[in-house]
Chains A and B, each alone.
Chain A
Amino acid sequence: MEKSICEQHEKLYAELDKFIEEIHADGSALIEVLHKAQQLFGHLPVEVQEYIAEKLNIPVSKVFGVVTFYSFFTMKPRGKHQIKVCLGTACYVKGADRLMDRFKEELGVEEDGVTKDGLFSLHGVRCLGACSMAPVVMIGENDFYGRVTPDEVPKIIRNYTK
């Protein structure tokens, strides 16, 4: 078990190396590299940050500063499916807060929390640029739900538990 995780990680590090080489990354490409790393590892634990710092030849403190500045980057694992509820003004006036409450209730987590099975995490995000479909929920990178009502929440969640 232990070993397979290690092996898996080695593979991910190798893939990260390949990316860094491909784009001839130096310190100015830090954000690109972090995007890639988070895509590979799911989050950015300190070890990964140290690794990147060494690779790009910049201080770890700088990497840490960038990771903590941008809300897209996270040091804590998130759920397999990240549920992002838009709390932007256009969604807010269409009842986004009630939607958020319903998700909290159905999943039994608070904002930014992860469900016990690791399947979901719940996040409030700013305007997703889809205001014409407000209120909007985005799950992962590709699944958009528009004009969502609180009563549709259980059904949406079920799409990912099957």
Chain B
Amino acid sequence: MPKSNVVLVSVDSNSVLKGAKYFKNLFQQLVDEYKLSDFVEVLETGSFGVYKDGVIIAIYPEEVYYEIKDAADVKKVVEEHLLKGRRAKDLELDAELFTRKLSVEAKKVVEETRIVLRNAGVIDPTNINEYIARDGYMALAKVLNEMKPQEVVEVVKESGLRGRGGAGFPTGLKWEFTMKTDADQKYVICNADEGEPGTFKDRLIMEGDPHSLIEAMTIAGYAVGATKGYIYIRGEYYGSIQNIQKAIKDAYEYGLLGEDILGSGFTFHLAVRLGAGAYVCGEETALMESIEGKAGRPRLKPPYPPVSGLYSKPTVINNVETFVNVPQIILNGADWFKSIGTESSPGTKVFSLCGNIVNRGIVEAPMGTTVRDLIYKFGGGIANGKALKMVQTGGTAGTFIGPDKLDVPLDFDSMKNYGVSLGSGVILVIDEDNCAVDVLKNAMEFFEHESCGKCTPCREGTKMLVHMLNDISKGKGKREYLDAMKNIASTMLDSAFCGLGQSVPVPLNSMLNNFEAEFLKHIESKESPCGICKFEKPKKKLVKS
């Protein structure tokens, strides 16, 4: 007999640190004590994508969400909700938070659309059976039994899926190039180095639904003719590493990885490789150097990975989020996928909402959702009643925009059309208490620190930028600096060796252009205009009186 109530406790790494495992055990213990165990099942799941101070739990089938802060809260939920059948009102969270409806245009009502996150927060990520019960590995079975590799590539191409790692390259094309290159060995790599500050979506996917990534990569392997794959995960993502490793082990046991998968004769092996703390290793060729055991410095392109990638063999490399779309596209078809999002950018995007915003967390919304809707409808607005000053979209390599650009719909074309980048989907909200000079300085320090030093424009350019911003923040800036900085940026754009150096002009120019007045104020006044930067006093001789 199925149990009538299910208690889902989110055990993503943030929640675990707030006591999620302990609360889960306590739930189980109390359920047993009250002899409810025939009716109530307590399960672990990934993150619900909404973050509060406490641990979030959900009770199905009612779909009620509670925030648990201590043992007393657990007791209350068990006694009130499970035993007596009433809501524990004071702990209850607004269910709207989890299934937000928002109107993108006056007529069209759009809900949070979950393709990539369909399982996160719904299943127990460490249990392969739960994934299978939600159509898991169905796409793989379909591909292996019914489709030729060429057909798989066609569907992905037709769907218009574009890379979610930042650059937006059409995934189907990438797969096609790799398929068409002849070689004795090919590889599939998942870029799970998630280093873009402010981004935490890949982590949520890997912790909440690891099998979907494994399934997608195996499909990619079949499509392009690769028998080996690597998932390159950031070394600091302990929770992701654990769940992915467990999932790989289980997939092998079920015959979903390894030799002769599902009796099809197709072989695919998958292993995890760990990053060691270098942002530039997120760049695809640097990442390959790193998997080969070398210092992760980028390679000269071309040749591109589909021709010469890992160990100089043809290689498909995609971001976690990109991959996870694939099984759903296979099952539901390219037309279904194209019906979501915008014409140039079909599908959804997982956005990371962070900074001075009320509901910080992850939300998956159709491509083309505006910055305003993300901040106010999903994010609940600016925290602490402050005024919005600026938003950085797309990550540290993304654009700084003022409140005048909030109505720009975000997709891969918004950079070209409106100067607002989508990047990895970060929406970093910055309120009036922050200073433009200071924020830009922090961003440039990041690039200076992460520059790998291989090419001069980036290595020296980032140093000079930080130096000038430092001067400005200390009241020692000069007017000429503004043009000089733009000059350095354009040199970097033209001549830096890889995407890291080439992307520095994006945040720099957008900040200088949108907030020039504030820079001038720092340069011209004698006192720090808003007190965040500490102006150095001109040295005075101490005169004894």
Which residues on A are within 8 Å of B, measured CB to CB?
27-32, 34-35, 62, 65-66, 69-73, 87-90, 92-94, 126-134, 138, 141-147
Contact = CB atoms under 8 A, between A and B. Distances in A.
B276 A34 contact: yes
Contact of A129 (B203, B294, B356): B203
Given A72-B277, A126-B446, A127-B199, A144 B294 contact: no
Contact of A93 (B274, B355, B362, B446): B355
B354 interface: yes
A142 B293 contact: no
Interface of B: 13-14, 17-18, 51, 53, 194-200, 203, 234-238, 273-279, 290-297, 352-356, 360-362, 392, 396, 428, 430-431, 434, 439, 442-443, 446, 449-450, 452
B361 A90 contact: no
Contact of B354 (A34, A62, A87, A131): A131
A129 B293 contact: no
A120 B534 CA distance: 29
Contacts of A30: 293-294
25 contacts: A28-B291, A28-B293, A62-B294, A65-B294, A69-B296, A69-B297, A88-B197, A88-B396, A89-B439, A89-B446, A90-B428, A93-B428, A127-B197, A127-B198, A128-B236, A129-B199, A129-B203, A129-B234, A131-B197, A132-B360, A133-B360, A134-B355, A141-B238, A142-B17, A146-B18
B64 to A, nearest CB: 22
A93 B294 contact: no
Given A27-B293, A89-B392, A144 B278 contact: no
B250 to A, nearest CB: 20
Contact of A35 (B274, B292, B352, B442): B274
A126 B355 contact: no
Nearest to A27: B293
Given A65-B295, A73-B276, A133 B290 contact: no
B277 A28 contact: no
Which of A30, A72, A143, A146 has the most C-beta atoms of chain B within 10 angstroms of its own C-beta?
A72
A126 B274 contact: no
Contact of B17 (A65, A90, A143): A143
B278 to A, nearest CB: 5
Contacts of A131: 197-200, 352, 354-355, 360
A110 B275 CA distance: 26
A130 B14 contact: yes
Contacts of B276: 31, 34-35, 70-73
A35 B235 CA distance: 9
Given A70-B278, A72-B277, A89-B443, A144 B360 contact: no
Nearest to B392: A89
Nearest to A146: B14
Contact of B356 (A35, A88, A93, A146): A93
Contacts of A70: 276-278, 295-296
A144 B13 contact: yes
Contacts of B443: 89
A130 B236 CA distance: 11
A132 B200 contact: yes
